[in-house]
Amino acid sequence: MTSSAPGLSRGGRVLLLAHQSPVGARTMDAVAVALERATAARDAAWTALASGRVDQETTLGDRSSRCTVRTIRLRERGAFQAGFGNQVLWPLCHFFPNRCSFQPALWSAFRRANEGFAAAARGLAGAGDVVWINDFHLALVPGLLRAAGAAARVGIFWHVPFPPPSVFGVCPWRAEILGGLLGADVVGVQTEEDAASFLACVRDLLDLPTMDDPPRVRLPDREVRVAALPLGIDAERLGAQAADASVRTDAERLRAGVGAEIIVLSLDRLDYAKGLNEGLLGYERFLDRHAEWRRRVALIQITVPSQFHVPALPGLKRTIEESVGRVIGRFTYEGRSPLVYLYTALDPGRLSAYYAAADVALVTPLRDGMNLVAKEYVACHGSGDAVLVLSEFAGAARELSGALAVNPYDPESIRRQLHAAVTMAPDERRRRMRGLAARVAERDVHWWTARFLDLLADGA
């Protein structure tokens, strides 16, 4: 692979660009810790740029001052975060083009925000540094940096699915987005399917040559590497947290409060792509067809509020609550409900208690780049006595082949696999879950960060 920029030099900087701060958000904080470890091993520093309400600079907790977080004030921060990214790219990449709002004003705000990030990055990154751009909200930044003659190597990781040309091609700004991404030296995606879709979009929509081994795009003066690297979690930390005595006590209290022999957990953010209502319909079908389990099984449904205002979400929330009410109304018996519903965000300790309390996790996204809920649940059950029921349309399904796969569009598929989960022999439960836990531990967030940084810094 050829490039016009050198790799990360000893003592260089990794500049992480993210639309949200890497401190506080659960996933981003894990990436921040992993990036700190990876850069320290290279004798390098790292700085993060994120959008904020004011310009400010802080260190990452009580860690070394070499780990710096800088926020940049954007005039249209709200329109940027809740606009084009969430109302165009999110639905488009999750195969819901009918939910896209192709408004020129949203595109203009998106472009200006990307220009603001690129301008800030140009003032910080130099030769011997690398720029790591995180997620689709900053899709134009690589091209802007390339056009400005940035000396650093540039990579972008695209966390959501990448759709094929037949879907991505409906976007009026498809060429500008693809061109922005091709400003990078490395484009990271979650799965090999995503890599193939990205290459197909470049071939069909830009008429550029691509190659498959390794996946890359050939430009007149250089090549762009496309890498499938599934995002991992901090499995060791989550496993230790779930094993903590106070968390185990909380988990036992949760089980006693629910009062069921078997607890099924469904947890995700309020979003139409997450398949929360589809999971509820499958659970309702399970209770309807298996009367013998109605007084033995309970579902804990946790819906996490969205950080952004998206027009479709209030209606989705009502639909979920109607399904919850119907299940409770149909199957409550002698005061014991078959369903506990929570609409809330949980702190990490409380979340671990729910993971540890559940015998079965029901994860049913209609489409997902990865789905870290599935991996977090697995990490909290390293001993093996649990079952994961997972949508075949989650990126995590490619790695977690020991899960029970379901088609979330088919309530009967969910019904069958829930029945398989609650009737599974203990030996098989442990065999499957231990295999899943080993996979999650092997390809954790530290592996992911180091691998992407290797590609970005070294051009391997």
Task: List active site positions.
Answer: 159, 368
Give me the sheet containing 339-343, strands edge to edge.
339-343, 297-304, 262-269, 360-363, 387-391, 404-406
**Selection from 251, 336, 352 nearest residue 294 by Cα:** 336
For β-strands 215-218 and 223-228, DSSP reports them as antiparallel
CA 115 to chain centre: 25
Q: Per the structure block, which two tokens stand in for 92? A: 């488009």
Residue pair 70/49 in contact (Cβ under 8 Å)? The answer is yes
Q: Per the structure block, which two tokens stand in for 114? A: 């990307």
Q: Per the structure block, which two tokens stand in for 216? A: 């890359």
Residue environment code for 125-148, b if the CB has 16+ CB neighbours within 10 A, otherwise e: beebbbbbbbbbbbbbbbbbbbee
What is the spatial distance between Cα 299 and Cα 317, in angstroms, rounded to a whole number? 18
Q: Per the structure block, which two tokens stand in for 172? A: 């009026």
Left if phi > 0, otherwise alpha if psi is -120 to 50, otherwise beta: which for 105? alpha
What is the spatial distance between Cα 201 and Cα 207, in angstroms, rounded to a whole number? 9
Please count the CA atoms within 13 angstroms of the CA of 162 that sit on its side-chain side.
30
What is the spatial distance between Cα 387 and Cα 421, in angstroms, rounded to a whole number? 6
For β-strands 13-18 and 45-52, DSSP reports them as parallel
H or E stretch covering 249: helix 245-258
On the 0-12 / 13-18 / 19+ scale of CB atoms within 10 A, 165 is: middle
Single-letter code of the amino acid located at 337 = S
Which residue spans within 325-430 are E strands per DSSP?
A: 339-343, 360-363, 387-391, 404-406
What is the spatial distance between Cα 339 and Cα 316, in angstroms, rounded to a whole number? 19
Please, which residues bridge with residue 52 across strands?
73
Residue at token pair 């904020």: 52
**Selection from 21, 32, 19 nearest residue 445 by Cα:** 32
